[in-house]
Chain A
């Protein structure tokens, strides 16, 4: 009897946690999905995430509007995406190396500019209290849906449609699959890839704003620890399909929520190990979804990461 209650409250804590933790994964992975479909990898989204978190928090604090903060985070993500896109367009410049550099650069400038933001309290993003019918505080907490999650889920469906049905989506896929063919048809490959990286940066920046403006909330230097990087692996696991990205983001959210949920139930032993669950999950999924010497199904043909001899 007692165990049943404990399991129930653990699951409730997990449910609330999944919605909180998966939202940044969702936005970053959708952004990375757009970039990868165009045939480029942006490993620097970790830096974009942190930069978005910082600028979103700063703007929300200055203007009092969290939504302006989200917009600012998106725009600053676009800026980093633009730098990445332009650098990768130079001859002999490798997108993976640029990504690593942008990861260090993005976190560095965020910590530098964001130093005065550690103290002040900015306006937070709102949430819907779907559980207000219940008197149980745990149920109410578990059913609190943040405003960005439905937006992200809707965006995932929209993006899938866009990649399948719209002209821009199809052109982007062509550019990612076969640059020579796209060029022959008269499309500007480099420009489209830069565009895709900028769009990816926009979404990753929004994911960052969620970190500082909702959960964990506040600005500090430990806000992101690899979510941006895991999103790259997540997209590959989701086989470049936005809807599957959303499902995978929920799965990653569950892994990330496990540690805090167990902690809320009083289990503090092995705290660090539970918090490593998302990394372990990513590693296992990568191992399972990659095949040696074989190109992954659905992989954009121009992608350096998944096509090898």
Chain B
């Protein structure tokens, strides 16, 4: 009983924020001279209105689950990491290269190698932020976003230089993966397996944070670092571990985009999933199970965007406006949260 009550209590501000967002978006759209009610209906229709819409939504939700975990896991240790986009890009690049270099090996080995490469690359990249935070006290929010910009520069430098497939003329890309190494769709759906792995990753993260000593220790570090230090916890190492773990998830997002969608690494990897993950994690209050629902919601907003463009000729930034409004109103309604919600 009490548990349901709590769940309801924490849902209330989210529902309120969604309602306010819809209203504000309608006003904004109307003020820009577009039909507001129709726009709102199209958002619903394009996100969840048909089987096709659901498949589009879920395909977008998959990478967002991973990038949201890149925010959620470090947040439990008290860090606000917002550089998932860079870890995604570099993780995807590492995966693409392993896929190309190992093309003659068994499929399972290739995919496992790609996942490992993506995980390690993403983890190390975000790990820099965690390391700077605990060794030097450098603010991890700024450093992680700077690292995202640097990561994208390194990505472009490599993809347009050393790692470029000479056959990719218009759009610089790495060499394409062998089609047998591509990750297929979940049977009966036009959604790739990355979705299942994303849900699994969220469940695993939840189990790790909720049911292990490691998760408990990280929660103490995030809640009160001074107390954590007093009890003899290795605060610095735990923060580093949380950031490496989170970065690994973002790297995996890149791996699935390469192995299930793009077939190679190119600039299309940087489609903003890293930034959408920030919003999802905050909306879920950094709870890994909430991330699943949040990723589907935000994936839906992205999926409806093309419908808005086609039917109403809205600018493609409409999705960004929606997401920005939702983020701002979510934070504003946090103030009504009766339980002292912890915000890193």
A308-B142 in contact (CB<8A): no
Residue interface bits B305-344, CB-to-A below 8 A is 1, else 0:
0000000001111111111110110111011010011010
- Bound Cα distance A290, B139 (Å): 9
List the A side residues contacting B136 at CB < 8 Å. Answer: 287, 290-292
- The answer, among A111, A272, A292, A306, for a CB contact under 8 Å with B320, is A111
A92-B334, A109-B321, A111-B315 as given contacts; A87 in contact with B141, CB under 8 Å: no
A108-B321, A286-B143 as given contacts; A273 in contact with B32, CB under 8 Å: no
B135-A93 in contact (CB<8A): no
A104-B275, A108-B324, A109-B28 as given contacts; A226 in contact with B154, CB under 8 Å: no
B150-A98 in contact (CB<8A): no
Tell me whether A196 is interfacial, beta carbon within 8 Å: no
List the B side residues contacting A273 at CB < 8 Å. Answer: 153-154, 157
The total of chain A residues at the interface (CB under 8 A) is 52
Q: How large is the interface on B (under 10, 10 to 19, 20 to 34, 35 or more residues)?
A: 35 or more
A100-B278, A286-B142, A309-B225 as given contacts; A225 in contact with B149, CB under 8 Å: yes
B141-A102 in contact (CB<8A): no
A104-B323 in contact (CB<8A): yes
Residue interface bits A276-295, CB-to-B below 8 A is 1, else 0:
10011011001100111110
B320-A90 in contact (CB<8A): no
Give chain A nearest CB distance to B266 CB in angstroms: 14
- The answer, among A106, A276, A287, for a CB contact under 8 Å with B154, is A276
- Chain A: CB-nearest residue to B319: A108
Tell me whether A91 is interfacial, beta carbon within 8 Å: yes
Please report whether the interface of chain A is mostly helix, strand, loop or mixed according to DSSP.
helix
List A residues at the B interface (Cβ < 8 Å).
43, 83, 87, 90-94, 96-98, 100-102, 104-113, 115, 225-226, 229-230, 232-233, 270-273, 275-276, 279-280, 282-283, 286-287, 290-294, 305-306, 308-309
List B residues at the A interface (Cβ < 8 Å).
28, 32, 80, 82, 132, 134-139, 141-143, 145-147, 149-150, 153-154, 156-157, 160, 225-226, 275, 278-279, 282, 314-325, 327-328, 330-332, 334-335, 337, 340-341, 343
